[in-house]
Structure 1
Amino acid sequence: MHHRFPHLAQRMFNVPLALHPAKAEIVMAALADRLGIAHLFNAGAPVALGNFEMDEDDRAEDRAYLVQNGVAIIPVEGCLVQKLGSLRPYSGMTGYDGIRYNFLDAWNDDDVKAIVLDIDSPGGEVAGCFDLADTIFRARGRKPIWAMLNENAFSAAYAIASACDQISVPRTGGTGSIGVISMIADISKALSEGGITVNIIQFGARKADGSEVLPLSTEARARFQADVNTIGQLFVNTVARNRKLKASAVAAQQATTYLGQDGLRAGLADMVAAPDAAFRALLKSLKT
């Protein structure tokens, strides 16, 4: 796994993330501890994050989700990434590609009467998140689609949950963090103190914006902030549409996280229930 850490670092820095800040800090600390600052961006040959060796089960043509009492249960766990190359959570991550495949497979499966997203995630990459949320939202109406939190759905994970018909959250579970964060690393001082000078030759005034070996300029900061604002507004508008809330009310939450009942009061959940109780409620609704 050690050789994959630099590639993970490249996916975490200098790009917009829909990720709970506490999780982002933990990941950053872990990367720094394992690699040291100087190695965080030395990824060597380009290898896409998620190009992992898959289990034989992942290569099988049969469905990768559990069907119980006619309900497809699709796990959404850990950090969310655009492309994982696995139909199941792998190495603490779940890919939007796997969720999409499983969801559409279940949606088209005549033996499946309802779909459950079993979610416990702090969020993850922006790339691919809102396209998946739109896919789930447009699929409403044919069969029930429930998000059952076990325990949390923060940030990108909440964007996915919000696209479902119903959201249940345990008493100790969390919802929200409807916001975007981008961590622009600056290791120029550390390099200078280490006696290292990096000379950048560039074509185009903005080509080196966000480079970790240069201090972040005022112009670059303003440009990156504008990008984050655009994605943040997309997030707000998506949740507002999905949950039938006013965009101004969602924006006013300022990416707050909510515990259990507070999420219900904020309009981010429909019931406070443990996953097993929520599942029984879904089965009961299918019989009526």
Structure 2
Amino acid sequence: MTNYPHLAQRLFNTPLAILPSKGEMVMAALADRFGITKLFRANGTPARMGAWSDDDEFGGPAESPPRGYEVVAGVAIIPVTGTLVAKLGTLRPYSGMTGYDGLRANFSMAIEDPEVVAIAFDIDSPGGEVSGCFDFVDAIYSQRGTKPIWAILSDSAYSAAYAIASACDRITVPRTGGTGSVGVICMAVEFSKALTSAGITVTIFQYGDRKADGNEYTPLEEAARKRFQADIDAMGDLFVSTVARNRNLSTAKVRSTQATTFLGASGVEIGFADAVMAPDEAFRSLLSELGD
């Protein structure tokens, strides 16, 4: 895959809905993958959303659009694993990441797929980018009642991953899994002291007083700091209100968690999950409800 030179712009000075402890993982996992705008099938051939090719991924005539989910007993299982990014370019998780672009395509196909009677998001993710997250969450929420939609946590759903889970009809979490981290973080980085000690001077010419706010070559001014914090607060409020709507909780209760993570049953007690179940048990429970 192609390397893209501006990786840091996607990691620093931009809002992330992710566990802070996963910062290094984000750095490593996204190194080769930013900027891809096409979707690819499992064998590497391109697949365009809404305009499928005439051949399937095995070289024969295509009978149906390619999809990134398995159907088991009428349930579409859509994996949500690793770091979540806006545009990954694949229908399935790849190199420790899942793209909202692929998730949206899979979810739309599963909703329209006559073979699918229910949808299960198989989630194990610390979260990821804010960009693209809440539009996808709203897309899930808007389809409630069309088909049963479950979030079956195979371990944890934190931050952006929890936002996705919260939009589903039901959330199950294993005993050692977790939910929560309803918050937004932004890692601002500047290298002015390092550059000075290296004998490097960067001069910025700008039009517009706020044009250079947040650049990595000069210390962050107080006015810029307040503006960026206001943006983070606005995104945090959106996150809180979205989870409150999705889980039928008060915004005050969700906000009071202060982005805390909750292990297993603690998430059920706070209202962030519905049941403590191992993934296989949760899947059997979904099949049982479909059989009623």
For normalisation by structure 2, the TM-score amounts to 0.89
Cα deviation digits, residues 10-29 of structure 1 (max 9, x gap):
2111111111111125545x
| Greater helix proportion | 1
RMSD value, Cα: 2.0
Please give the residue correspondences for 1:1-288 in structure 2 after superposition, counting only pairs within 5 Å: 3-4=3-4, 6-27=5-26, 48-51=34-37, 54=40, 55-56=42-43, 59=47, 60=57, 61-288=65-292
Alpha-carbon deviation of 1:134?
A: 0.4
| In 2, Cα distance between equivalents of 1:262 and 1:256 | 11
Matched residue SS, 1:56: coil
Alpha-carbon deviation of 1:49?
A: 2.8
Matched residue SS, 2:77: strand
Alpha-carbon deviation of 1:2?
A: 9.2
Aligned residue type for 2:283:
F
Matched residue SS, 2:179: strand
Q: Give unmatched runs, 5+ long, in structure 2.
A: 48-56, 58-64
Matched residue SS, 2:139: helix
Mapped contact 1:154–1:176 kept (Cα < 8 A): yes
Mapped contact 1:7–1:49 kept (Cα < 8 A): no
Aligned residue type for 2:125:
S
Q: Which moved more, 1:78-87 or 1:155-164?
A: 78-87
| In 2, Cα distance between equivalents of 1:27 and 1:99 | 19
Change (3 A) 1:131 1:217: same
Equivalences, count? 273
For normalisation by structure 1, the TM-score amounts to 0.90
Cα deviation digits, residues 112-143 of structure 1 (max 9, x gap):
11000001111111111000000000100021
Cα deviation digits, residues 208-251 of structure 1 (max 9, x gap):
00000110100000000000000000000000000000000000
Alpha-carbon deviation of 1:52?
A: 7.8
Mapped contact 2:185–2:232 kept (Cα < 8 A): yes
Aligned residue type for 2:269:
R
Q: Which moved more, 1:7-16 or 1:95-104?
A: 7-16
Mapped contact 1:87–1:102 kept (Cα < 8 A): yes
Change (3 A) 1:53 1:8: farther
Cα deviation digits, residues 34-73 of structure 1 (max 9, x gap):
x9xxxxxxx9xxx953358944366443222100000000
| In 2, Cα distance between equivalents of 1:284 and 1:151 | 22
Aligned residue type for 1:15:
T
Aligned residue type for 2:142:
R
Alpha-carbon deviation of 1:84?
A: 1.1
| In 2, Cα distance between equivalents of 1:236 and 1:197 | 42
| In 2, Cα distance between equivalents of 1:51 and 1:144 | 30
| In 2, Cα distance between equivalents of 1:271 and 1:25 | 32
Q: Give unmatched runs, 5+ long, in structure 1.
A: 36-42
Change (3 A) 1:101 1:2: closer
Matched residue SS, 1:104: helix
Q: Aligned residues: percent identity?
A: 59
Structure 1 runs, 4 residues or longer, greater than 3 Å off: 1-4, 25-28, 50-55, 57-61
